[in-house]
């Protein structure tokens, strides 16, 4: 059964043992792999028993996993919702079973915020704005139209919705910026490559690629090179995440700017979990701290990146 009112003090285990059910989005990107590792390692370190389930980017799989966690009467459920909408019913079931829920990484659009205790993750709108701000600065002296193509993340996901919105807000201030094509690449390298190939075929004059994550940007680089163009020069590239392969491409001059999104949410998630299981008050929103990287900065920090 559930643990309540126990004093967690110390290294966990014993009578205070907590079981967490964690429903992960999938394994779509380098970011996701690093996030999974962070959650698994932090659970082990905190003495929390982790029931881990990979939804392979499908909401129905996540709903099934959450129902199974409820049936198993875990102490706390944490999950990264693949899309924003459609969670009210299953979250209500968890609430009725008195199992606290923590959202990690991605948000839900449920009106009833009592359905979860806390939301830990990045400010994706801010990330989109940072991408737009770099572009505004980079093209401050340009008078010609700047043709932009956008590779969106998974349709309906919080990071795709918000990174698109934040970016659009910033570039809207200057009419020279034109998004000439915008499509989902599902946050994967393979899809990023495929969609970029199609963009290149139908648009001879692309100045900038804005990809919602590194992996799609890396796939797009292959497409750009395949079309005989030089990524980072003929087409400027902005991505989000700052995983190792992305940072390497940035240091190599193939990407021009990366907005960081930290996948290392495990330690904070375990702290929050211990608190909610004890019935302690936790902040409704915990925002991850993040930075941005230029090519020069990537060269400096590359060897010290953890993921």
Candidates 43, 55, 82, 105: give the one binding ligand AHR (CB under 6 A): 105
Contacting range for ligand AHR; rule: CB under 6 A; set: 26-34, 112-120, 273-281, 297-305: 26-34
> Based on CB atoms, which residue is closest to ligand AHR, 177 or 187?
187
Residue that is written with structure tokens 């990045």 in the block:
122
Contacting range for ligand AHR; rule: CB under 6 A; set: 28-36, 85-93, 202-210, 290-298: 28-36
- 187 binding ligand AHR? (CB under 6 A): yes
Q: Interface residues for ligand AHR in 230-249 (CB under 6 A)?
A: 240-241
100 binds ligand AHR (CB under 6 A): no
Q: How far is the CB of 154 from ligand AHR (least distance, A)?
A: 7
User: Residues 106, 189, 193, 254: which binds ligand AHR (CB under 6 A)?
Assistant: 106
Contact between 213 and ligand AHR (CB under 6 A)? yes
31 binds ligand AHR (CB under 6 A): yes
**263 Cβ contact list (under 8 Å, min separation 6):** 31, 32, 34, 35, 38, 105, 241, 243, 307
Interface with ligand AHR (CB under 6 A), residue total 13
Left (φ > 0), alpha (ψ -120 to 50) or beta: where does 170 sit?
A: alpha
Decide whether 93 or 245 has the Cβ nearer to ligand AHR. 245
Task: With contacts defined by CB under 6 A, name the span among 10-18, 25-33, 229-237, 272-280 that binds ligand AHR.
Answer: 25-33
Interface with ligand AHR in residues 37-96 (CB under 6 A): none
- Which lies closer to ligand AHR via its Cβ, residue 84 or residue 241? 241
Which residues are at the interface with ligand AHR (CB under 6 A)?
A: 28-29, 31-32, 105-106, 159, 187, 213, 215, 240-241, 261
């Amino acid at each position: 059964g559930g643990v309540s009112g126990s004093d967690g003090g110390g290294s966990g285990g014993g009578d205070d043992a907590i079981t967490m059910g964690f429903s992960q989005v999938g394994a779509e990107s380098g970011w996701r792999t690093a996030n999974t590792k962070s959650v698994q390692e932090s659970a082990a370190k905190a003495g929390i028993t982790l029931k881990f389930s990979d939804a392979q980017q499908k909401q129905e799989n996540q709903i099934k996993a959450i129902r199974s966690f409820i049936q198993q009467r875990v102490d706390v459920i944490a999950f990264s919702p693949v899309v924003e909408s459609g969670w009210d019913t299953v979250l209500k079931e968890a609430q009725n079973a008195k199992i606290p829920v923590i959202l990690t990484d991605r948000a839900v659009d449920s009106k009833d915020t009592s359905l979860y205790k806390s939301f830990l993750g990045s400010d994706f709108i801010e990330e989109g704005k940072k991408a737009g701000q770099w572009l505004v600065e980079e093209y401050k002296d340009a008078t010609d139209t700047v043709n932009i193509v956008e590779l969106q993340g998974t349709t309906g996901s919080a990071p795709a919705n918000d990174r698109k919105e934040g970016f659009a807000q910033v570039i809207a201030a200057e009419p020279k910026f034109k998004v000439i094509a915008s499509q989902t690449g599902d946050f994967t390298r393979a899809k990023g490559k495929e969609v970029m190939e199609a963009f290149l075929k139908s648009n001879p004059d692309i100045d900038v690629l804005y990809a919602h994550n590194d992996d799609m940007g890396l796939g797009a680089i292959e497409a750009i090179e395949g079309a005989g163009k030089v990524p980072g020069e003929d087409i400027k590239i902005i991505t989000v995440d700052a995983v190792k392969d992305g940072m390497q491409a940035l240091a190599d001059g193939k990407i021009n700017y990366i907005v960081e999104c930290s996948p290392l949410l495990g330690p904070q998630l375990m702290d929050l979990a211990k608190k909610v299981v004890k019935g302690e008050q936790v902040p409704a929103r915990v925002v991850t701290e993040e930075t941005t990287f230029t090519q020069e900065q990537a060269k400096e920090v590359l060897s010290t990146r953890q993921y």
